[in-house]
Amino acid sequence: MSNQRVNRRAPVSHYVIAIAFGAIATIAVSLVVAASNPDGFWLAAGIGAICAGYPSFSLGARIFVTNHTATRDPHGEESVELTWMRQAAARAFLDVLITTIVATVVMMLYRLDVGALPALLILIGLSAADVALRYLVVRHRALK
């Protein structure tokens, strides 16, 4: 076993670049949001900045700092949780496919006129719920 200490800090310039990236991205998003609402320009800019601040600075840290501070697990793709999630997603795919086909046939036979957006949102919600429930079932069976 080696007593060598591993440096887990990024150079200071990378932290500065990450902060600058976060600030520039936040300002850009807030200006785009403000441009879409010229009547309440500053209010929209403020709301856009509040909403974009955390993701922008996090992305900057991820891009410029994390490569120096975190080590990648060579066996990370072999985790039990990831295997459970893959099983749940694979099993839910068939459910979603069959549900989509059955719903399409029912809408065709009964000549139902449903907008694309509500239908897609319902399909996405059902897909997410199906994967979540299947994940819980797979996890429960594995932990028995």
Say if 3 falls within a structural domain.
no
What's the pTM value of the predicted model, to 2 decimals?
0.53
In whole angstroms, what is the distance from residue 27 CA to residue 49 CA? 7
Q: For the CA atoms of 113, 115, 121, 124, what is the dihedral angle to 10 degrees?
A: 60
The answer to whether residue 6 scores a pLDDT higher than 70 is no
In a domain, 7, yes or no: no
Looking at the fold, whether 90 and 36 belong to one and the same domain comes out as: no
pLDDT digits (tens, 9 = 90+) for 10-31: 889 999 999 999 999 999 999 9
Which residue do the tokens 């403020």 mark? 46
Q: So what's the pLDDT on residue 29? A: 96
Based on the fold, state whether residues 95 and 135 are members of the same structural domain.
Answer: yes
Q: Within 13 A of 58's CA, how many CA atoms are on the CB side? A: 5
Per the structure, the complete domain to which residue 99 belongs is given by 76-143
CA distance between the termini of the chain: 37
Residue 4 lies in a domain: no
Tens of pLDDT, residue by residue over 44-75, are 999 999 999 999 999 999 999 988 887 777 87
CA atoms within 13 A on the CB side of 75: 3
pLDDT of the residue at 75: 78
- What is the total count of domains within the chain? 2
**Helix residue ranges, H only, the chain:** 12-35, 41-64, 66-69, 80-109, 116-143
Average pLDDT, the chain: 90
28 found inside a domain: yes
